[in-house]
Chain A
Amino acid sequence: DAGVTQSPTHLIKTRGQQVTLRCSPISGHKSVSWYQQVLGQGPQFIFQYYEKEERGRGNFPDRFSARQFPNYSSELNVNALLLGDSALYLCASSLTGANYGYTFGSGTRLTVV
């Protein structure tokens, strides 16, 4: 059974550009969450989606947006990239939410130059 898959694995973008990151959850998982992890720190919560609806949002600017599709896959979009957006972006899926624990993908390493 495939785990959580994220694409692309690595990405280099220029300041001011836009980026779209993709995530496919484990089959049967209806909740997808996105996190930003800067080197040496714990992941920071960005969004949670459940059944295609936004259920939670972290303290990130409006340049960050996401959506979940009918097949429960998800996209994270970041507009007007800044150097400080360089990080590992992690996607996690779960059956319904935190109480069941999250399964994480390997992440997308975004570098903004």
Chain B
Amino acid sequence: TQLLEQSPQFLSIQEGENLTVYCNSSSVFSSLQWYRQEPGEGPVLLVTVVTGGEVKKLKRLTFQFGDARKDSSLHITAAQPGDTGLYLCAGEGNTGNQFYFGTGTSLTVIP
């Protein structure tokens, strides 16, 4: 089993603050994806990172894939209440026939 550990597990911040969520594994992944999930809904894909060291930006969100392709981070600048949700990293296993989700980070942005 390829585990993806996320930290922190819970995060509660004030609107306008910055935050970083980490996704770590002892295994190498060919790619990693980040999803955001709201209560009662399925996860929604935010980004896919493929190349070690890759940085992708999506408005106020910045995603980075570690050089060794074992870890990733999500940085949110000037968080908004609409950013509230469960953030999940995910990746495909070495054999290509299993897809693993991280443990999740529950973010609450207080107005």
Contacts and interface: CB of A to CB of B under 8 A. Distances in A.
Interface of A: 4, 33, 35, 40-45, 48, 55-59, 90, 92, 97-99, 101-107
B31 A98 contact: yes
Contact of B92 (A4, A98, A107): A98
Contacts of B43: 43, 90, 102, 104
A40 B106 CA distance: 8
A102 B45 contact: yes
B97 A56 contact: yes
A99 B48 contact: yes
Nearest to A35: B101
A19 to B, nearest CB: 19
Interface of B: 1, 4, 6, 30-31, 33, 35, 40-45, 48, 50, 88, 90-92, 95-104, 106
B101 A48 contact: no
B42 A90 contact: yes
Contacts of A58: 98
Nearest to B103: A42
Contacts of B106: 40
Given A59-B1, A92-B42, A106-B40, A45 B103 contact: no
A99 B86 CA distance: 22
Contacts of B102: 42
A109 B38 CA distance: 14
Given A98-B92, A104-B44, A106-B40, A43 B101 contact: yes
